[in-house]
Structure 1
Amino acid sequence: MTHRRKTSRTTCQTGDVQMEINLFIISDNPVSLAGLETIIEQDGRFTLVGRAVGVLDGMRCLENTELQPHVVILGEPSSKRSIYENAQQIVSTYRRHKTRPKMMVVSQNDDDDAVFTALRVGVSGYLSHMRSSEELLHSIEIVAKGGAVFSRTIASRLSLHFSTVRILPETTGLSELTSRELEILELVAGGLSNHQIARRIFLAEKTVRNYVSRIFAKLEVHDRASAAVLARDAGLGKETREVRTA
């Protein structure tokens, strides 16, 4: 399903129509996207500059959006992998910009794997089981201004894990990987050899070997095991391992 570009005043910026905070919504769930859009458009502090279903349409639309959003909202991502892929693509899209949008997740899924994956890739807010639309709008404003915000139950759990959770999306090197490198890293994390990866994604084994070498350099690791640990911490590789053991 492709995204629908809006034609109302929320997609442009002229004269007195300029709003304070520009927003972009990416969701794997069209119903969730419509709900978020309805809430946001009720508040004059925000301009919805774009919306899309899925990461591919989302990135294409982001790249073609005249106004850079201050916050990208990931609505009801289908999995922690979806959170990871969306966040990494946003980082990549704005790599050459002086600033990039803040990111926040709005989801009913608040299990630890999803929340910690979001933190590792630089998400500034994670809301689940919201009590009101005002809670969402206030949280967006906090994130846009550089703050961090989490639902009460998530914040409580984070306080217990604070000493072990490291929010270092820039220093891990993962944000430097291309989409193809991320794909190959996930297969490495799943335990596949270069030969198996080559067969899986229809590349020459030598090409895969070159990709793996570049991945090691960007992650500043020297072996597959170390690369796999970083990837699995970010939520990659689980699906591959499940397929192989089925």
Structure 2
Amino acid sequence: MTERIRVLVVDDHPLFRQGVVHSLGTDPGLLVVGETDSGEEALKLAQELLPDVVLLDISMPGWNGLMTAERITTACPVVNIVMLTVSEEKDKLIAAFKAGARAYVLKGVSARELTQVVRTAASGEVYVSPSLAAEMLVTLTQSKAPDPLQELTDREREILGLIGSGLTNREIGERIFLSEKTIKHYVTNILQKLQVRSRVEAALLAAQHKRTER
């Protein structure tokens, strides 16, 4: 007989938490081994019980769900975290996965869908509610590629402009009253930030950026 998936339910709303416990209890493949209303207690139970999955709300007094997820993941890396929340904020979604969550589910999910998500997380797979996944995909595809020139300081931009004018390190140093050695250091930083191999490539990148701004 296949072992049941052991689940710990964490939510500070008793009625909702009991509903989740009841829903999961109707699935013969799942076993709720504990429940609590606080992040601090959740960490203790996770360490004692080592459940396969922790269902965790984000908004809780004391330790919120993100803090709790991070601490459980650190203390019990074998435990899979499923965030069960009303929050549709993309920042919360990203933060949850950074904290170690394997799944992010909205509380409007059906009992049947929730049990499937628990199974998915227990197997080590990642899951995001379809509506949020679609929205994140649209955001990512519409976002502009990062501009490497934005990484430069004002001084580095100035030096890059002088490189584009064909000046040597010594000439640049004389122009802005810095030593040739200091200019060389700046140039090295500029090449690294722009991810190019030579002064010529850096100057071409700067020239191309100027053309696109017009």
Unaligned runs of 5+ in 2: 144-214
Q: Greater share of helix residues, 1 or 2?
A: 2
- Matching residue of 2:38: 54
Any unmatched runs of 5+ in structure 1?
A: 1-15, 165-246
* 1:69 partnered with 2:47: no
Counterpart position of 2:128: 150
The question of 1:123 aligning with 2:101 is answered yes
Task: Say whether residues 1:30 and 2:8 are aligned partners.
Answer: no
Distance across 1 between alignment mates of 2:59 and 2:47:
20
Contact 1:41 1:48 in 2 (8 A): yes
Closer/same/farther in 2, CA of residues 82 and 19 from structure 1, 3 Å limit: same
Aligned twin of 1:84: 66
CA contact (8 A) 1:25 1:72 kept: yes
Q: 2:101 is paired with a residue of what secondary structure? A: coil
Q: Return the structure number with greater relative CO, CA threshold 8 A, min gap 6.
A: 1
Q: What is the TM-score of this pair, normalised by structure 2?
A: 0.59
Residues 82-137 of structure 1 deviation map (CA, whole Å, 9 limit, x = unaligned): 1221112202322xxxx511111111121122212112112111111534211101
How far off its partner does 1:161 sit?
A: 4.4
The residue matched to 1:88 in structure 2 has which SS? helix
Measured after TM superposition, the shift of residue 72 of structure 1 is 0.8
Contact 1:32/1:75 (CA < 8 Å) preserved in 2? Answer: no
Contact 2:4 2:31 in 1 (8 A): yes
Following superposition, the deviation at residue 19 of structure 1 comes to 3.7
Identical amino acids, percent of aligned pairs: 17
How far, CA to CA, are the matches of 1:115 and 1:29 in structure 2? 21
Q: 1:43 to 1:118 in 2, by over 3 A?
A: same
- The CA RMSD measured in Å over matched residues stands at 2.3
Using the TM superposition, give the Cα deviation of residue 30 of structure 1 relative to its aligned residue in structure 2, in angstroms.
2.1
Which one of 73, 85, 88 corresponds to residue 107 of structure 1? Answer: 85
Q: Which has the larger radius of gyration?
A: 2
**Change over 3 Å in CA distance of 1:85–1:131 after alignment to 2:** closer
Partner of 1:42: 26
8 Å contact from structure 2 (residues 70, 100) kept in 1: no
Question: What SS is found at the alignment partner of 1:124?
Answer: strand
Q: Tell me the TM-score normalised to structure 1 length.
A: 0.52
Counterpart Cα distance in 2 of 1:28 and 1:76: 10
1:137 to 95, 115, 125: 115
Deviation at 1:158, TM superposition (A): 2.2
Structure-2 change in CA distance of 1:157 and 1:78 (3 Å): farther
Query: Structure 1 residues 106, 143: CA separation in 2 closer, same or farther (over 3 Å shift)?
Result: same
Deviations 1:38-58 (A, max 9, x none): 111111101111111111111
Is the Cα–Cα contact under 8 Å of residues 70 and 100 in structure 1 kept in the other structure?
yes
Distance 2:100 2:139 in 1: 17
